[in-house]
Structure 1
């Protein structure tokens, strides 16, 4: 990625996390990035494309982080605990990515991404799809629709991460382990 493109991404992520999608105009993003508004359009044909590409960039970084040392052939519980722990660890270290991702997922922008991720559209399957499928097939996880398993598994993790980022709680390693284990308990048979 080019330096200007990085500057645009960083400015957009910060502004959108602070002001929302509508409050982060192209001119504000350009001003914060130290570029002209026209420069943004050299890299992105529209603000919508910028928003979606920024999410994909964050998703790639999150994925690379959580998959580091991932025990692909380990027991379902071990893999679940790994993914949940790494996810929380990443977002604690990158709160702007969390805030951006939360806004993205709870907006019309995120609807298609969420559906594709959970439903496993060709080329868009994730490690979670495979884990949940295998867990249900092995009768380790509850036999529930994937949207429900995803919500039960990750909804509490997202809420706890949000509360940490807002300063309501402090997530340390032992508490993270307890939270992820409790999340596991909500989906296991």
Structure 2
């Protein structure tokens, strides 16, 4: 097995510490120490902490997008695509708790607010746009309720995030059947 490079070690350390302590509770010196590198080494890879935070989010988003696209087909019926995206996302979050905790912190920070505004209201080219694309299609074809995208996203992502959090914290135990039932309930909330 090959030894991870320094950049990978820094990213992993940042993910662990930020997920555990938040953005402000994980200074660069602490990240460097956890990664086993000198503080100056981080700046060879990342101009500053903001860049590290954003690049780490982009890496996590790439993993999520890869998971969402696995087995996804635009040829399948609309409801089946919706259920695929929802179950895949919830499964990803509960199987990758560090990624989930990071994403949750990111989206509840000033970084995430700007990102979310761009994603919902701006012109984006992110792979997660498969969900936005499906929702826009659903509204246009009158499959989904005629709500603004923000509301549709809240009805979809809100339960997914809340239940992933509760699963990770040990309040509930989600199995495959329950995951499917949850996403079908999300479908019931947004369908016409």
TM-score (norm 1): 0.96
Task: Report how far residue 71 of structure 1 moved.
Answer: 1.9
For the pair 1:166 / 2:165, whether they are aligned, the reply is: no
Alignment: residue pair count: 188
Q: Kindly report the root-mean-square deviation, in angstroms, between the aligned alpha carbons of the 2 structures.
A: 1.2
Regions of 4+ moved over 4 Å: none
Gapped runs of 5+ residues in structure 1?
none
Pairs within 5 Å for 1:27-176: 27-124=29-126, 126-176=129-179
Gaps of 5+ in 2: none
Q: What is the distance in 1 between the residues matched to 2:124 and 2:88?
A: 25
TM-fit CA distance, 1:53: 0.3
Q: Deviations over 1:117-167 (max 9, x none)?
A: 223514347001210111011111000000110001110111000000000
Residues 30-63 of structure 1 show CA distances to partners (whole Å, capped at 9, x for unaligned) of: 0000001100000000000000000000000010
Partner deviation per Cα, 1:42-91 (whole Å, 9 max, x = no partner) = 00000000000000000000100111010212222111100000111111
SS in 1 for 2:103: helix
Shift of 1:115: 1.5
Segment drifting more, 120-129 vs 69-78: 120-129
- TM-score under structure 2 length normalisation: 0.95
